[in-house]
């Protein structure tokens, strides 16, 4: 994986985790505010401490993180830009600051979970029933732990990204250089219609995968609590499939980020640019998500009864969206696979021998040009010989080779005059 592809993958994962924290912290805030109002109404002291304030901080910082990282991603491949956003130093400082802030947020949430995650603390309050307290404390423990774990993951990834940018920039002159001035492996195609369609489909797969990744932890919590309260008779099967959906969703959006980084490239040595890698992987994932969606909706259909809604309404609120999103994600993945297959067949190629962007249109960013000596160089010792060089290119990666041909014609005219 080249330098630019590595950065795109890291930026994409950070954006995905920040969006997950944005949603998870928002749901946690809603629950904490509701529970705090109940304690206040009965004149009981609230046991939640600074959880509400920490959640608000996590929501705001998560929003700023994924917005700013999206901006940095848009400027991480523009070596011809004069903007400061294209400098390695801007990206390096940004991710160092992100790493420090998210480490502090993770520590705050992990410290806050020490009270609700102790089983005895839920039974020492004389104002409420112990079963009710056990439920809200376990939910708060799980939600705060999820936000803390995701915050720690962003902190580690941001630090790793900053370190990678520092190491890469030292090879090209330091942090004051443009970020992709000498990445060397950029071989992008023009954004033709087929490229735009694939990009849109991959982005939708990424969004739906992230949405399922956020919903499934809460689905696991409500299925466990529902089984313990006696509302369900599935013996933990729905919990197991919700956990499988969590793992699959994590893999899906990470894999979609990788495919998105390679779907505009043509590289004979890199298997990730092959049409087979994109077509087969999306087809397999589409089948997996179809099976998961049918199974999860089957559990929802048998368990979402009037008794469950009145006794534990949170079960249906979380398990139904996971099933519906799973089927939608299956349709999107199969659409990606079918679109790539039709595009390759229409161009007369095979998915096993062609690149995913081979029939999109445009020209590659590498051409064979003759190496021309400077004016006044004596041809008695050497002759012109072709070598593979990178021609001047604009920011879209399209080669502009008229300069080399004009220079060659000028040199030859001097010797034939």
350 plus 397 within the same structural domain: no
166 plus 54 within the same structural domain: yes
311 plus 382 within the same structural domain: no
Q: Per-residue pLDDT tens for 103-135?
A: 998 888 887 776 666 654 444 555 445 555 555
Secondary structure element (H or E) that encloses residue 155, with its range:
helix 130-170
> At which of 185, 219, 241 does a domain end?
185
Question: Contact, 319 vs 234, CB < 8 A?
Answer: no
Cα-based distances in Å from 103 to 17, 83, 108, 185, 258: 14, 30, 9, 33, 26
Residue whose structure tokens are 């081979």: 358
Cα-based distances in Å from 332 to 49, 290, 296: 43, 11, 18
172 plus 198 within the same structural domain: no
Neighbours of 409 (CB within 10 A): 10
Output the CA torsion sign for 265, 266, 272, 274: positive
Full domain range(s) for residue 293 = 187-362
Q: Which long-range contacts (CB under 8 A, 24 or more apart) does 49-58 make?
A: 49/112, 49/115, 50/108, 50/112, 51/112, 51/140, 51/144, 54/105, 54/108, 54/109, 54/112, 55/25, 55/28, 55/29, 55/147, 56/29, 57/105, 57/108, 58/21, 58/25, 58/105, 58/109, 58/147, 58/151
- Coil, helix or strand at residue 180: coil
Question: Contact, 253 vs 5, CB < 8 A?
Answer: no
> At which of 138, 159, 185 does a domain end?
185
> At which of 149, 167, 185 does a domain end?
185
Residue whose structure tokens are 């890291």: 10
> Would strands 367-371 and 385-389 be described as parallel, antiparallel, or unpaired?
antiparallel
Residue 371 DSSP one-character state:
E
87 plus 178 within the same structural domain: yes
pLDDT (0 to 100) of residue 333: 92
Question: Contact, 231 vs 307, CB < 8 A?
Answer: yes
373 plus 358 within the same structural domain: no
pLDDT (0 to 100) of residue 335: 92
173 plus 284 within the same structural domain: no
* Chain mean position to CA 153: 13
* Closest alpha carbon to 254 in 86, 37, 12, 35: 12
244 plus 325 within the same structural domain: yes
Question: Contact, 330 vs 208, CB < 8 A?
Answer: no
Q: In whole angstroms, give the CA distance from residue 242 to residue 144.
A: 19
Q: Which long-range contacts (CB under 8 A, 24 or more apart) does 193-199 make?
A: 194/339, 194/343, 194/359, 194/360, 194/361, 195/263, 195/264, 195/357, 195/360, 197/339, 198/263, 198/336, 198/339, 198/340, 198/356, 199/260, 199/263
Domains contained in the chain, number: 3
115 plus 178 within the same structural domain: yes
152 plus 132 within the same structural domain: yes
Cα-based distances in Å from 20 to 253, 254, 367: 12, 13, 43
Q: Per-residue pLDDT tens for 248-269?
A: 998 998 888 888 888 777 777 7
Which stretches of the chain drop beneath a pLDDT of 70? 1-2, 29-52, 79-82, 114-139, 172-174, 176-192, 225-236, 305-315, 360-417
Q: In whole angstroms, give the CA distance from residue 312 to residue 372.
A: 78
257 plus 353 within the same structural domain: yes
278 plus 404 within the same structural domain: no
- Coil, helix or strand at residue 393: strand
């Amino acid at each position: 994986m080249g330098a630019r592809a590595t950065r795109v993958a890291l930026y994409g994962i950070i954006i995905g985790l920040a969006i997950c924290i944005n949603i998870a912290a928002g749901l946690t805030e809603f629950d904490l505010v509701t529970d705090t109002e109940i304690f206040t109404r009965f004149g009981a002291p609230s046991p939640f401490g600074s959880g509400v304030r920490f959640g608000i901080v996590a929501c705001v910082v998560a929003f700023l993180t994924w917005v700013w990282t999206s901006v940095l991603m848009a400027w991480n491949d523009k070596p011809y830009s004069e903007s400061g956003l294209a400098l390695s130093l801007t990206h390096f400082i940004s991710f160092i600051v992100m790493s420090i802030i998210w480490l502090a947020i993770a520590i705050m949430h992990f410290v806050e979970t020490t009270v609700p995650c102790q089983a005895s603390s839920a039974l020492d309050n004389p104002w409420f029933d112990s079963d009710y307290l056990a439920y809200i404390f376990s939910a708060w423990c799980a939600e705060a732990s999820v936000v803390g774990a995701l915050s720690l993951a962003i902190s580690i990834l941001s630090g790793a990204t900053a370190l990678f940018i520092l190491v890469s920039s030292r090879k090209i002159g330091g942090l004051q250089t443009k970020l992709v001035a000498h990445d060397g492996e950029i071989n992008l195609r023009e954004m033709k219609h087929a490229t735009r369609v694939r990009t849109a489909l991959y982005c939708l797969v990424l969004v739906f995968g992230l949405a399922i990744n956020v919903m499934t932890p809460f689905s696991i919590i409500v299925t466990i609590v529902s089984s313990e309260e006696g509302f369900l008779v599935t013996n933990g099967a729905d919990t197991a499939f919700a956990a499988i959906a969590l793992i699959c969703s994590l893999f899906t959006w990470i894999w979609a980020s990788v495919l998105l980084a390679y779907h505009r490239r043509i590289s004979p040595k890199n298997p990730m640019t092959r049409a087979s890698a994109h077509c087969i992987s999306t087809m397999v994932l589409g089948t997996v998500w179809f099976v998961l969606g049918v199974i999860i909706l089957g559990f929802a259909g048998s368990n979402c009864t009037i008794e469950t809604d009145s006794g534990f309404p949170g079960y249906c609120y979380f398990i139904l969206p996971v099933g519906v999103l799973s089927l939608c994600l299956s349709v999107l993945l199969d659409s990606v696979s079918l679109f790539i297959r039709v595009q390759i067949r229409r161009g007369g190629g095979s998915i096993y021998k062609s690149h995913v962007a081979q029939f999109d249109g445009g020209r590659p960013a590498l051409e064979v040009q003759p190496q021309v000596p400077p004016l006044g160089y004596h041809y008695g010792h050497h002759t012109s010989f072709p070598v593979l060089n990178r021609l001047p290119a604009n920011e879209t990666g399209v080669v502009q080779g008229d300069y080399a041909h004009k220079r060659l014609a000028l040199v030859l005219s001097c010797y034939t005059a």
